[in-house]
Amino acid sequence: MRSSCSMRKTRASFLIPALTGIALCLASLPTRPALAAPARPEGGAAFRVGAPTAATVVRVPADHPTIQSAVDASAPGGTVLVRPGTYVEQVTIAKNLTLIGAGAEATFIKAPASLAPGFGGRTFIVEINGGARVKITGLTVTGPASDSCVTGTGLRRGIAVVQDSTLDISDAAITHIHDTPIVSDCPRDGNGIAIGGAPFTDETGHATIVGVTISDYQGAGIVFFNPGTTVTIANDVITGTGPNPSAFSNGIDFGFGAVATITHNVISGNECDAADLGCGPDPIAQFQASAIGPVDAGAGTVIAYNTLSNNDTGLYLYASPGAISASHNAMLNNRYFGLAIQDGDATSAFDRIVGGQIGVGVIADFADTVGTLRNELIGGASVAPIKEISCCGVTAMAVVVKK
């Protein structure tokens, strides 16, 4: 354990440089359940896609041989229908459009061997930009990259949503979003869906992600930041690679003002074994991967009815005092913590937390922190059902409420 407060780690101190490449330190901070159609987040206004007419439909490959050429030929508001097959290309969409495949098991957009950079210099497979509003359904976006950030460009994003654009994606898959090989020098390459820009910029985006399977990613399944960014994530299955010696992978990374509604998802397999990245069980001096890991989330965020299993930490609420409504989550066999509340007061209620070392950790190393636990069901922890961890002149306190 590091004894100097100046050497203490923060989750933010890893997330920011890993995503942006700029070293910043924040010293002041299984079956899908049934679900009604989620509400659209503010800023990501709903848009209706009517039945396409012959004049608005472009078909691949009947009318155009590639998806990109079909997108280019489509009128704004048009529809691109893609037949079964594997289309090896990058696709950029800068107009309102609907992209429909023949099914996630039949239509594939695959990363080419050479990836051109998109917005912000980041490589991608599909990019939505220019404020476009795009609906995608019935296809799979797949990597991997043929190189890494060390030997070439690597793959930063499977789907990128930038410049205040909006993505509505359903009944789709994103997989194999990683470099080749995966090396610890590029721990945050390979994000499945990335919305908006790097933290502390004015880059925003919006997304509704429903009924999507995301797997085998290097960085995060879904990542988004900044005030004005709004995302709804529901009925998705997000699966990491399990214990990873070369990458720090999270299911959902978000915050710095972004607002999310995250419900009825199944998230597993986010575990970091990379000693050179500082991973381990100590929340003061080391890092833990998580299923859901908000950092300074925007007010009005909801995290509920998710099943989070076999991660380092199930739900990690960091520096988000009063911003998050967390309840009714199942956190099962996460190896270090089921639930962690750190450096900001937070409440979680009606959760089921089973297994792992510690059921609930309330942690303070920058700010006094009160974790309020309402009607939590905690069992099977090998070290402690609830543990208060304080460091460096600040105090952690767990308040248990049963009624």
Tokens of 299: 């007010």
For residue 303, the Cα-to-chain-centroid distance in whole angstroms is: 13
Tell me the domain boundaries of the chain: 79-401
In a 10 Å sphere around its CB, with 0-12 CB exposed, 13-18 middle and 19+ buried, how is residue 67 labelled? buried
Scan for tokens 């009604």, then name that residue: 36
pLDDT of the residue at 247: 85
Cis peptide before 52 (omega within 30 of 0): no
- pLDDT tens digits, residue range 147-184? 998 888 899 999 999 999 999 999 999 999 999 998 88
Q: Does pTM surpass 0.85?
A: yes
Nearest one of 181, 232, 180, 182 to 206, comparing CA atoms = 232
> Collapsing DSSP states into helix, strand and coil, what is residue 221?
strand
Predicted pLDDT at 38: 41
Beta carbons of 187 and 18 less than 8 angstroms apart? yes
Segment-wise mean pLDDT, segments of 10 residues, the chain, 403 residues: 35 46 34 39 41 75 98 97 98 98 98 95 96 98 93 93 98 96 83 95 96 97 98 98 90 98 98 91 96 98 98 98 97 98 98 98 97 98 98 97 89
pLDDT attached to residue 6: 30
pLDDT on residue 273: 93
**Contact assessment for residue 381 and residue 361, using Cβ atoms and an 8 Å cutoff:** no
- CATH second-level architecture of 79-401? 3 Solenoid (2.160)
Quick one: pLDDT at residue 152?
A: 83
pLDDT one-digit tens code per residue, 305-345: 999 999 999 999 999 999 999 999 999 999 999 999 999 99
Say how far apart CA 359 and CA 387 lie, in whole Å. 8
Q: Could you count the other beta carbons within 10 Å of the beta carbon of residue 141?
A: 29
What distance in Å separates the CA atoms of residue 31 and residue 396, rounded to the nearest whole number?
36
Give the separation between CA 42 and CA 80, rounded to whole angstroms: 27
Instruction: In whole angstroms, give the CA distance from residue 257 to residue 126.
Output: 25
Rounded Cα distance, 60 and 89, in Å: 13
pLDDT of residue 55: 55
Euclidean distance between CA atoms 135 and 79, whole angstroms: 9
d(CA 348, CA 361): 12
pLDDT at 307: 98
pLDDT of 51 reads 53
Q: Are 343 and 363 in contact (CB under 8 A)?
A: yes
For residue 4, with 0-12 CB atoms within 10 Å meaning exposed, 13-18 middle and 19 or more buried, which class applies? exposed
Q: What does each C-alpha distance from 353 to 209, 288, 335 come to in angstroms?
A: 26, 17, 12
